[in-house]
A and B are shown apart, each in its own frame.
Chain A
């Protein structure tokens, strides 16, 4: 598999206000010299808890937020050196599904506007062609095209994530960063959305970066994983290998925190 995306030496600091009662600000290092390589066609898990830097990493990979140090190259092209039309074109290939289905969609927009948002920005489709594309996208994510007129606020959390996924795949991207795409959902819905992503990645040969704090979702969905703590990668490797034989104490702690549930596999 060839390398699709590479991050080298990423550093990102955030200023946070000092404790209540003190003036000035402190600096929090969200990314501490992070190196990462994503191969074409793979699904990589980025695992970490709140404050680990995983969301910052996801956004940096897509060049959504500037980094203080380091480079990100996509298909060998340094994203820092792209500008204007080239950068916009690259954005067609690199898309994101955000964490909170209730915040990442404008609730007042009809579903049609949500799913065609990226097409409107990156293509010249309009009128009938755009409508056809919208209907196709709805079907692709398992939603009834008749719901295109409905406003986003009328959809359930699981349905909204389907809309967010439709929006992300509309430009036929090469790579999608999904930041906790199912965390806000009940377990059954989580599995349904992951099954949808599995189907889409097969059909569209997608490379996925799956950011999550929930380790139990990783095994059935990702081939490789990295574990982040305090802005650093503390462990990485094939999912099976890391689960069987975790090296870093923090990884061991995360694995131990998975609540046991002795379910019989391969049912029915």
Chain B
């Protein structure tokens, strides 16, 4: 059985500089969770952008393949890729304050994707958007949908982004440091929400973070990246108890100090 997401020997770089991602390999089965652990600059976010086809223009694809549901993403044209990613892969970024358009009502931003990727008409999309806001704990959905992002707190904006990412029913959700900017209790609630939604909807989850505790809250397995390479892979608790790579060991040493 082939994995839902297969990244094989991915190498990326800029200009004449050495690879910023080098030979990265990892895979994710349908409905499963995988953590991508690494410090800032480890290449974890770029790897995720490669999956989504959202690499900056200056970034060169120097090797390897990304297969989603058996399809080589590099062989799709821009339109096919957009259609695939919009409908099948959802993304939640780190920055709740910049990922939402401040000039549009929250409900409209969710409805936009529904009209584009699921072909719903305006009324149906608006209803569905309101329902999604309630699903992520932002009730009453209809009035929340009419509000603007600046009227939401940081935690509420992340919930709205989650709703936006899941509304089209993706089979894979990629979260990149989704809770880093949030207070501890808000972070815990957000991760609990993510776990519940994954149970109910069955999407595969790729959780990218520098914090192994965040990964552990949603995934049982993880790969560790450092300086663009995958340096360790395995069960999260194995990495915790018996880290093999320098990167994981340094992180465990840091936790032990606290």
Taking beta carbons and an 8 Å cutoff, which residues of A are in contact with B? 20, 49-50, 186-191, 194-195, 213-217, 219-220, 253-254, 256-268
Contact = CB atoms under 8 A, between A and B. Distances in A.
Q: Which 10 A-B pairs have the closest CB atoms?
A: A259-B213, A257-B188, A49-B183, A191-B254, A261-B213, A257-B185, A257-B184, A186-B210, A263-B255, A188-B254
Interface string B140-157: 000000001001011000
B183 A50 contact: yes
> How large, as a class, is the contact surface on chain B?
20 to 34
B36 interface: no
Prevailing SS type, chain B contact patch: helix
Contact of A214 (B148, B184, B254): B184
A254 B186 CA distance: 10
Contacts of A49: 183-186
Nearest to A266: B256
B115 to A, nearest CB: 26
B214 interface: yes
B250 A220 contact: no
Kindly name the residue among A20, A194, A220, A261 whose own CB sees the greatest number of chain B CB atoms within 10 A.
Answer: A261
Contact of B212 (A190, A254, A261, A267): A261
Contact of B256 (A215, A253, A258, A264): A264
Nearest to B251: A188
11 contacts: A187-B210, A188-B254, A190-B254, A191-B258, A253-B185, A257-B187, A258-B184, A261-B255, A263-B240, A265-B256, A267-B252
Interface of B: 39-40, 148, 151, 153-154, 183-188, 191, 210-214, 216-217, 237, 240-241, 250-258
Contact of B258 (A220, A254, A262, A264): A220
A263 B256 contact: yes
A260 to B, nearest CB: 7
Contacts of A220: 257-258
A101 to B, nearest CB: 13
Contact of A261 (B186, B240, B257): B240
A177 to B, nearest CB: 20
Given A259-B216, A263-B252, A187 B185 contact: no
Given A49-B184, A261-B213, A263-B252, A186 B39 contact: yes
A163 to B, nearest CB: 18
A253 B250 CA distance: 30
Contacts of B186: 49
A264 B210 CA distance: 19
Given A258-B184, A261-B216, 14 more contacts: A20-B151, A49-B183, A187-B254, A188-B39, A188-B251, A191-B257, A195-B257, A220-B258, A257-B187, A257-B188, A259-B214, A262-B237, A262-B241, A263-B240
Contacts of B39: 186, 188-189
B38 to A, nearest CB: 9
B253 A268 contact: yes
Given A186-B40, A219-B258, A260 B183 contact: no
B188 A260 contact: no
A215 to B, nearest CB: 6
A31 to B, nearest CB: 19
Contacts of B217: 259
Nearest to A212: B184
Nearest to A19: B151
